[in-house]
C-alpha cells in the first residue's frame, strides 16, 4: 500500500509526528492488514523527531509516487500546511486531512468562540477548515467539536515517549508536574504551587523543575526529551493540564510511562465515549477539586500503591492509544470510506 505523506513545512507538529510515528511503527511490526506499507515524503524540510530520510524523495519522484498512491495524508501546520503541493497533485478523492490545530492560549475556555467553531464561523487557529472538509475524502481532528462527519484523532503515545520506560525500574518520585509553558492556562502554574506545598508538608517527593532543554520553544525545535522521560519513568503519578487545546502531549507521555494520571476533566472525545475509562486516570474539575483529588491519590500512594498491579491496564492503554493505534484509525476509516483496501 503506497502512502504519500505531505507534512507541514519546517515547523514540528505533534499530531503530524504521532501519525508519522504510527506509520513507522506499523512498518516495523510488519504484521496485520497494514503490512507492506510504502511510505514517501517530499523533499521539503520538516523538523521531526524520527528519521524520515529513507522515505524522502526528490520532487519528481514524489510527484510520481503521489499520483499513483493509494492514500495521501495532508496534516495541518500552523501557517505551514502544504496546501500547494496537495493542490498540485490534485487527488482529493485519495487525500485525508489531519487537523492537529488548537484554539491556543485560554480561548478553549471561551464558550462564544467554541460555539463559533461549531457553527464554522470562527476564522482563527483551531477552526474547522471548511475547504478541506469539502475537498478531502476524510477529515480527522484532534479537538472537539466533531461535526459533519469529522473523525476524532487525538494525540497518542509515541514510541519516543517509551525510550526510558522499564517496568522493573524503581518508582522513587511520587508526583511529576512539568509543563513546557505555564502561562496558558494559569491553572498549570497554580496547580504546581499547590503540589509543591502539599508534598513539602506531607513528606512526598515531587519533580516540578524543567529538565535541561525542556522549554516550549525547544519543543518546537524537537529537542531531545530523554531526561524528562527518565523522570516520568521513575514517577508514580503524573499531572496533566491542557495548554492551548483540550488535548496535550503531556497526557500521553504520562500514560506511556505507566504513571497514574491526575488530569483536568478529560474533554478529548465526545461525552459518551469510554475510550479513556481507566482506573489509573483520576480527573479534577478545578483547583479546589485538584487539592481534594491530591489528598485521595496521596492516601492511595501510602496505603495501596503497587506498580505491578497496573501491568494489565498499561498493556491495554498501549494497544488502544499508541501512535500505531492512531495510524490504524486513519487506515481503517479510509477502508470504510472505500479509499483503500487492507486485505
Q: What is the CATH number of the domain that holds 102?
A: 3.40.50
Same structural domain for residues 152 and 171?
Answer: no
- Domain that includes residue 251, residue range: 159-321
Indicate whether 178 belongs to any domain.
yes
Quick one: pLDDT at residue 148?
84
Instruction: Say if residue 164 is in the same domain as residue 67.
Output: no
- Rounded to whole angstroms, the Cα distance separating 231 from 219 reads 17
Confidence category of residue 216, pLDDT binned at 50, 70, 90:
very low
pLDDT given for residue 304 in this prediction: 85
Shared domain for 67 and 173, answered yes or no, is no
For residues 70-84, give the mean pLDDT: 97
In this prediction, what percent of the chain has a pLDDT beyond 90? 87
In a domain, 341, yes or no: no
132 in the same domain as 176: no
For residues 331 and 277, membership in a common domain is answered with: no
Same domain, 67 and 175: no
String of b and e for 277-295 (b: at least 16 CB within 10 Å)? ebebbbebeeeeebeebbe
Q: What pLDDT does 212 receive? A: 67
Predicted local confidence at residue 214, as pLDDT: 53
* d(C-alpha 123, C-alpha 276), whole Å: 31
pLDDT score of 264: 97
Tell me whether residue 342 is in a domain: no
| Inside any domain, residue 229 | yes
Average pLDDT, the chain: 93
Tell me which residue has cell 519528481: 60
Residues 129 and 250 in one domain: no
In this prediction, residues 180-197 reach a mean pLDDT of 96
Residue where the block lists cell 514517577: 235
Alpha carbon 174 to its chain centroid, in Å, reads 24
pLDDT in tens, 263-317: 999 999 988 899 999 999 999 999 999 999 999 999 999 998 887 666 689 999 9
Place 343 in a pLDDT band, splitting at 50, 70 and 90. Answer: confident
Residues 114 and 175 in one domain: no
Please tell me the total count of domains within the chain. 2
Does the pTM surpass 0.85? The reply is yes
Q: What is the 8-class DSSP label of residue 267?
A: -
pLDDT band at 217 (very low <50, low <70, confident <90, very high): very low
Does residue 146 lie within any of the structural domains? yes
The per-residue pLDDT for 224 is 63
Instruction: Give domain status of residue 343, yes or no.
Output: no
CATH number for the domain that contains residue 248? 3.40.50.2000
Is residue 90 located within the same domain as residue 217? no
CA distance 59 to 216: 32
End-to-end CA distance of the chain: 10
- Mean pLDDT lowest among 113-127, 141-155, 208-222: 208-222
Shared domain check, 129 and 226? no
136/33 same-domain check: yes
Most confident stretch, 43-47, 221-225, 238-242: 238-242
Average the pLDDT over 11-18 and give the result: 95
Residue 171's nearest CA partner among 282, 294, 309 is 309
Residues 203 and 308 in one domain: yes
pLDDT of res. 225: 81
pLDDT in tens, 80-110: 999 999 999 999 999 999 999 999 999 999 9
Cell numbers 496533566 correspond to what residue?
240
Amino acid at each position: 500500500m503506497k502512502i504519500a505523506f505531505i507534512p507541514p513545512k519546517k515547523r514540528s507538529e505533534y499530531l503530524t509526528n504521532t501519525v508519522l510515528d504510527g506509520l513507522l511503527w506499523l512498518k516495523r511490526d510488519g504484521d496485520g492488514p497494514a503490512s507492506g506499507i510504502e511510505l514517501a515524503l517530499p523533499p521539503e524540510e520538516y523538523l521531526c523527531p524520527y528519521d524520515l530520510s529513507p522515505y524522502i524523495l526528490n520532487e519528481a519522484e514524489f510527484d510520481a509516487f503521489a499520483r499513483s498512491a493509494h492514500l495521501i495524508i495532508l496534516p495541518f501546520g500552523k501557517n505551514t500546511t502544504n496546501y500547494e503541493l496537495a493542490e498540485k497533485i490534485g487527488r482529493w478523492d485519495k487525500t485525508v486531512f489531519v487537523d492537529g490545530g488548537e484554539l491556543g492560549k485560554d480561548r478553549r475556555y471561551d464558550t462564544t468562540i467554541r460555539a463559533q467553531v461549531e457553527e464554522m464561523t470562527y476564522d482563527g487557529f483551531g477552526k474547522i477548515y471548511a475547504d478541506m472538509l469539502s475537498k478531502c475524502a476524510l477529515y480527522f481532528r484532534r479537538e472537539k467539536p466533531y461535526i459533519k462527519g469529522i473523525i476524532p484523532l487525538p494525540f497518542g503515545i509515541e514510541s519516543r515517549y517509551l525510550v526510558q520506560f522499564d517496568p522493573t525500574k524503581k518508582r522513587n518520585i511520587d508526583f511529576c508536574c512539568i509543563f513546557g509553558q505555564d502561562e496558558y492556562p494559569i491553572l498549570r502554574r497554580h496547580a504546581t504551587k499547590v503540589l509543591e506545598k502539599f508534598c513539602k508538608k506531607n513528606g512526598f517527593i515531587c519533580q516540578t523543575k524543567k529538565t535541561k532543554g525542556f522549554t516550549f520553544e525547544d519543543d518546537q525545535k524537537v529537542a531531545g526529551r530523554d531526561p524528562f522521560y527518565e523522570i516520568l519513568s521513575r514517577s508514580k503519578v503524573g499531572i496533566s493540564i491542557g495548554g492551548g487545546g483540550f488535548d496535550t502531549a503531556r497526557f500521553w507521555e504520562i500514560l506511556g510511562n505507566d504513571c497514574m494520571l491526575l488530569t483536568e476533566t478529560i474533554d478529548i472525545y465526545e461525552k459518551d465515549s469510554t475510550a479513556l475509562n481507566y482506573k489509573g486516570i483520576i480527573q479534577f474539575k478545578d483547583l479546589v477539586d485538584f487539592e481534594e483529588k491530591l489528598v485521595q491519590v496521596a492516601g492511595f500512594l501510602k496505603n495501596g500503591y503497587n506498580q505491578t498491579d497496573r501491568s494489565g491496564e498499561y498493556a491495554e492503554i498501549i494497544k488502544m492509544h499508541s501512535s500505531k493505534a492512531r495510524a490504524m484509525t486513519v487506515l481503517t476509516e479510509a477502508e470504510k470510506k472505500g479509499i483503500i483496501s487492507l486485505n
